[in-house]
Amino acid sequence: MMKVYVTGKVKDYTKKTLKEYIESKGHEFKSFNKSTDLLIVAERPGQGRLDNAQVWGVKTMSWEEFEKTHMK
């Protein structure tokens, strides 16, 4: 199970519905921290989270790429 977090806005989703959608596909959606496996970057992402991802070595991916590769 991959631990993921989304920074920014995903069209047509609230954080709650986004969490439910991601978890329905077998991923864990929790708060962003050093143990996060993947930071998903959506529209208007938080710069602090992007900076921390780089410092902590957390992989980043766009929402579109994540949906194509991990949400089937």
Tokens of 3: 């631990």
CATH number at residue 55: 3.40.50.10190
pLDDT value for 68: 92
pLDDT value for 71: 81
Residue whose token pair is 């709650």? 16
- 37: closest CA among 46, 24, 48, 28? 28
List, for residues 12-60, the tens digit of each pLDDT value: 999 999 999 999 999 999 899 999 999 999 999 999 999 999 999 999 9
**Domain limits for position 61:** 3-70
Phi and psi torsions of 59, nearest 5° = -65, 145
pLDDT value for 3: 97
**What is the rounded average pLDDT of the residues 6-15?**
94
Give the number of domains in the chain: 1
pTM above 0.85, yes or no: yes
pLDDT value for 10: 96
